Amino acid sequence: MAAMAACLVMCVSRGISQDAEIPRLRLEGVSEPGDGSRPVAQLLLEAPSGVPYRLESGSLRDDWRPRITFAGTGSNRVQLLEPAEVANPAGEFFRAVVVEDPLAVTGDHFATTDGDVVVHPVNHASFVLRWRDRMIYNDPVGGAARYSRLPRADLILVSHDHGDHFDTATLNAVRQEGTRIIAPAAVFSRMSAALRALTLPLANGAETNAFGIRIEAVPAYNANHPRGAGNGYVLTVGERRIYMSGDTGSTPEMRALADIDLAFLCMNVPFTMTIPDAVAAVRAFRPGIVYPYHFRNQGGGLADLAAFQRGVADLPEIEVRRRTWY
């Protein structure tokens, strides 16, 4: 505990006028979770508003590793990390760097052998990944305004034809020239001719490649979703495997997945998995990082993500990242 509290926190500022408040990054505290999982640190930033920052960690030998990109809010103290984001920071140094990329996408950074993937939750089942100069949209719905500050899509993945996953108006709003869409046949059949021209129907168990990304369609089904009508997807990006579940139960195909580095896992009742189902699935296929998503229940309440996290807390190789989806 003492070693963690002694880690240096520093801030680097670039591109800010001399009259602006100087950003300051500091360690707020380190806590020991009571459930036996790893210690966590919480960092706070005091910085001007309207400026994007990237939190990096390293050892002061020019080997800084991006952890998260976020927007400064100007509210004096900006909470960067929730518990479990920075685990075991003994011996690590941290800095906040001004991001000068006008197209920067906020979110967690996930390292691959060919550049970082940035994870940007949008809402419910919708999220965006940025990899190098490519934008990957998963189940975009909700209208154009929801995506107005994001670069348009290069690749769009649609899991199935329910309204919280598939919306033609939103697809038309986020696409651009050269956009490629991957979807099951049930979605393809409901598209306009213009959207069909951009779309490859992909059946359960099939695979394809787009923009250097391998895309595998995983069966996604349960009592509410007929087998064959929907896909989950596994993307291979820079030798890392990223799984997005779509709407599914804890299926044999999911539990048999291998070498998943990052997983987006649905958990809501009565439509997808219960918390015990989700825990059992994760304990079976052992992803390195899990993002619970699609966790609003039928009555409007949210699934008990703390219970999900407790259910895998004895597996130190699995990190659960709880983010804002609603």
- Residues 6 or more apart in contact with residue 54 via CB below 8 angstroms: 66, 67, 68, 69, 70, 96, 97, 99, 109
* Cα 276 from Cα 284, distance rounded (Å): 12
* Cα 94 from Cα 289, distance rounded (Å): 21
Residue with tokens 């651009």: 176
pLDDT of residue 11: 60
pLDDT 10s per residue in the chain (326 long)?
333 333 555 665 554 444 445 567 777 766 666 655 556 667 777 777 888 888 888 776 667 889 899 887 754 344 444 444 454 445 567 788 888 888 899 999 999 999 999 999 999 999 999 999 999 999 999 999 999 999 999 999 999 999 999 999 999 999 999 999 999 999 999 999 999 999 999 999 999 999 999 999 999 999 999 999 999 999 999 999 999 999 999 999 999 999 999 999 999 999 999 999 999 999 999 999 999 999 999 999 999 999 999 999 999 999 999 999 99
- Contact by Cβ (8 Å): 126, 158: no
**Could you give phi then psi for residue 144, rounded to 5 degrees?**
-65, -35
pTM of the entire structure? 0.90
pLDDT of residue 25: 77
Strand partners, 207: 216
Strands (E), 84-177: 86-87, 93-98, 107-110, 117-123, 126-131, 134-138, 155-157
pLDDT of residue 87: 46
All CATH 3.60.15.10 domain ranges in the chain, comma separated:
113-320
Please state the CATH superfamily assignment of the domain spanning residues 113-320 in this structure: Ribonuclease Z/Hydroxyacylglutathione hydrolase-like (3.60.15.10)
